[in-house]
């Protein structure tokens, strides 16, 4: 499940990423996201996958920590391996950065960036937490990790 920070100021994210990279960075992955008339596709180093969305209701946690309101989205994608993409589409190169408090943590802070081909510059486009749906985000240890990240983003 994904947990979004409501009304987060994306303009400050580049500066925050520097601090996060120093203490919490785990890994990154790069892929191409394709938006076609019949769906969303993800192209990585080894395959083309069609992402089929399974929408679920969202839950809003007002003032989860200080003035941060979180949006919990349990929607998910089922993945279908395909051999082609639609001829009419829009593509975007994405770099997804993963951050954890420690390697054993179940919680990831994810920052997605879009890469501009002409200048090789990256622009943060999304930030969210990701955790397995079976884990309670009000669990004391999980909440402590979320609060630690939120305090860095403040």
Q: In the chain, what percentage of residues exceed pLDDT 90?
A: 63
Structure tokens at 65: 């920590």
Question: Containing H/E element for 141?
Answer: helix 140-153
- Whole-model pTM: value is 0.89
pLDDT category at 117 given cuts 50, 70, 90 is low
CA 150, CA 68: separation in Å to the nearest integer? 8
Provide the 10 A C-beta neighbour count for residue 87: 7
* CA dihedral sign of residues 60, 148, 131, 129: positive
pLDDT tens, position by position, 45-66: 889 999 999 999 999 999 998 8
Task: Report the Cα 137 to chain-centroid distance in Å.
Answer: 16
Residue-range domain boundaries for the chain = 2-153
Provide the 10 A C-beta neighbour count for residue 35: 12
Structure tokens at 126: 């999304």
Mean pLDDT, rounded, of the chain: 91
Q: Is 108 exposed, middle or buried (0-12, 13-18, 19+ CB in 10 A)?
A: buried
Contact between residue 76 and residue 57 where contact means Cβ atoms under 8 Å apart: no
CATH of 2-153, picked from 3.60.21, 2.40.320, 3.40.50, 1.10.3720, is 2.40.320
pLDDT tens, position by position, 63-115: 998 889 999 999 999 999 999 998 999 999 999 999 999 888 999 999 999 98
CA 70, CA 59: separation in Å to the nearest integer? 8
Mean pLDDT of 121-147: 91
pLDDT for 3 = 96
């Amino acid at each position: 499940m994904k947990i979004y920070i409501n009304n987060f100021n994306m303009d400050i994210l580049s500066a925050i990423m520097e601090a996060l990279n120093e203490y919490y960075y785990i890994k990154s992955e790069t892929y191409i996201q394709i938006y076609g008339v019949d769906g969303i596709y993800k192209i990585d180093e080894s395959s083309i996958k069609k992402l089929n969305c399974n929408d679920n209701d969202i839950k809003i946690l007002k003032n989860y920590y200080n003035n941060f309101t979180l949006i919990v989205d349990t929607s998910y994608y089922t993945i279908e391996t395909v051999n082609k993409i639609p001829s009419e589409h829009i593509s975007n190169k994405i770099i997804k950065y993963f951050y954890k408090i420690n390697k054993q943590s179940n919680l990831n802070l994810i920052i997605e960036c879009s890469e501009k081909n002409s200048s090789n510059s990256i622009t943060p486009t999304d930030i969210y937490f990701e955790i397995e749906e079976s884990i309670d985000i009000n669990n004391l240890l999980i909440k402590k990790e979320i609060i630690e990240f939120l305090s860095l983003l403040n």
